[in-house]
Amino acid sequence: MKSYLILLLILFIKSSAPAAPESGIVRLEEPKAWKKFIKTRTNVLVLFASSGEVSVPRGLLPILEEIAQEVKGLGAVAYVDCSSAKKLCKNLKIGGKGEQKKYYLKHFKDGSYHKDYDRLLRKSSLLDFMKDPTSDAPWSEDPTSKDVRHIESSTGLYKFLAKEKKPILLMFYAPWCGHCQLLKPEFAAAATSLKGKQVLAGMNLDKPETMLTREEYNVTGFPTLLYFEEGKVKYPYSGGRDTDSIIKWLSDPQPPPSTQEVEQEAGANWSTELNNVVHLTSENFQSVIDSSPSTLVTFYAPWCGHCKAMKPDYNEAAKLLESENILGTLAAVDATAERELASHYQVSGFPTIKYFSNGKELYDYGYPRTTESFVEFMKNPQPPPEKEKDWSEIETGVHHLTDETYKPFIKKTKHALVMFYAPWCGHCKAAKPEFIDAAASLKEDKKTSLAAVDCTKYAQICDQNDVQGYPTILYMSYGKKSFKYMGPRDSNGFVEFLRNPNKYVSIVKDEF
């Protein structure tokens, strides 16, 4: 009787114990099961073990189990023991003759082999990889950046700023940003040189976990560098983008120079430099234009970065016109000194380059601002290519909203991404084809829509939505603004977001 009661007690305890969580890792052995599994998945990380779990690094399987649970709906993790699944591993050519590797971690995309996993065996790296397996390895995994403090989330930044007592230079960047890629090695070298004195940190603002930071510091371009003391922004960085310049600036941080100081530094002295460009004023402008059968005139401002970048090419082109006896004149007007002249020719941005023939203005120059292009143009002046069609005139799956259609459209759409843009904006032009592709991918989904608003035409709509830079992409649900879209500006990023926007809403709430 006593033993019977003990048995009942054991059964009761077992039945009362919580069930073990279901494994997220899919274990495969048969080739048929593999084919069925891999054909129905778009994003799979597979661990192949040559001799079972004993051949896998300690701790890797538990990490992969966590990854599998966290990426459900986005990807899958599988495990293959090649000691028992010999036929499958042979078919997949895992561990050929002479190979001594104990395990292989391989990624499969859209049913086919994509690449071997090539990052660190830690949870954050594996998770980042599964979220975007086509991207490059994160900066934090570059051994040369070991002295840069890498911040992974908005919460992490708040803690870092509260704890760190040394002065901080923080670089906000995006993985796709070319200027960021050029700056990273210089920044990392400065971090090593200043180790123990000042802290140089980096933060990727192109992912949902950091979107609150992007909003808080109003980061609209990359790279953006801010200098902190005692956890608060003191100055934006205003030095050069090389190691020595960063070290020099940090030895005596200063606020950026005023516009007047920049103008003085740049100097309105292009006209006094030794070059072959003809410098025009209101006194000689018309006489020079009338006397030349072919004249290219650049209206510039001394402080304008694009003007300064173009100047060496323009000078060299003027020199070549003279040395090669090419008919024509390259001229320049300082629009800040000759305001009436600039106003007469409706100059609203710098540089503005206009072509004149025998005293008459014909058209604006619309080609690259390089020595070769200037010279080729002057050899055979031609009007620029026809202006591209307005985006709203091109038939795509993107809905173009106006003052009349904006509110009715937004109120009836469950999940909408709205791009507020300007036609001249370079970042908008780069995002446009990706936005169009995403709209095409989601055309059968009646709950989602991608829309666009031209802020040069419908400024009131943009003002109502607090648009301060282009492009600004907002997620809306039935007319209520939820938050700015801060993900990758590519088709996959837009589509992934709209298929599960609630996931990003929860991330924003968690970070807040």
Q: Active-site residue among 89, 177, 180, 304? A: 304
Handedness of CA 234, 236, 237, 239 (dihedral sign): negative
How far is 226 from 243, CA to CA, in rounded Å? 16
In angstroms, the CA 228 to CA 117 distance is 37
Tokens standing for 326? 């090419």
d(CA 401, CA 409): 8
307 is catalytic: yes
Strand partners, 45: 77, 107
Q: Which residues contact 238 (CB under 8 A, 6 or more apart)?
A: 249, 254, 255, 256, 257
265, 266, 268, 272 alpha-carbon torsion, rounded to 10°: 100
Cβ atoms 38, 6 nearer than 8 A: no
Q: Are 91 and 19 in contact (CB under 8 A)?
A: no
Measured N-to-C along each axis, helices 371-379 and 305-323 cross at an angle, to the nearest 10 degrees, of 50
DSSP for residue 420: E
Q: What burial class does residue 348 get, using C-beta atoms within 10 Å of its C-beta: 0-12 exposed, 13-18 middle, 19+ buried? A: exposed
A 10 A CB-CB count for 496 gives: 19
Q: How far apart are CA 281 and CA 340, in angstroms?
A: 10
User: How far apart (Å, rounded) are the C-alpha atoms in residues 379 and 373?
Assistant: 10
φ/ψ of residue 40, rounded to 5? -100, 10
Query: Cα Rg for the chain, rounded, in angstroms?
Result: 30
Active-site residue (options: 82, 89, 180, 307): 307
Q: Are strands 448-454 and 399-400 parallel, antiparallel or unpaired?
A: parallel
Would you say 126 and 67 are in contact if contact means Cβ atoms under 8 Å apart? yes
CB 405 within 8 Å of CB 458: no
> Is 89 annotated in the active site?
no
What are the start-end ranges of the E strands in 74-133? Answer: 76-81, 103-109, 112-116
425 labelled catalytic: yes
SS (H, E, C) 428-443: HHHHHHHHHHHHHHCC
Residue of 177, 180, 428, 455 with catalytic role:
428
Distance CA 189, CA 211 (A): 28
| Beta bridge partners of residue 225, listed in sequence order | 171
What is the CB-side half-sphere exposure of residue 254 using CA atoms within 13 A? Answer: 9
| Rounded-to-integer distance, Cα 463 and Cα 461, Å | 5
- One-letter amino acid of 65: E
Query: Which residues form the catalytic set?
Result: 304, 307, 425, 428
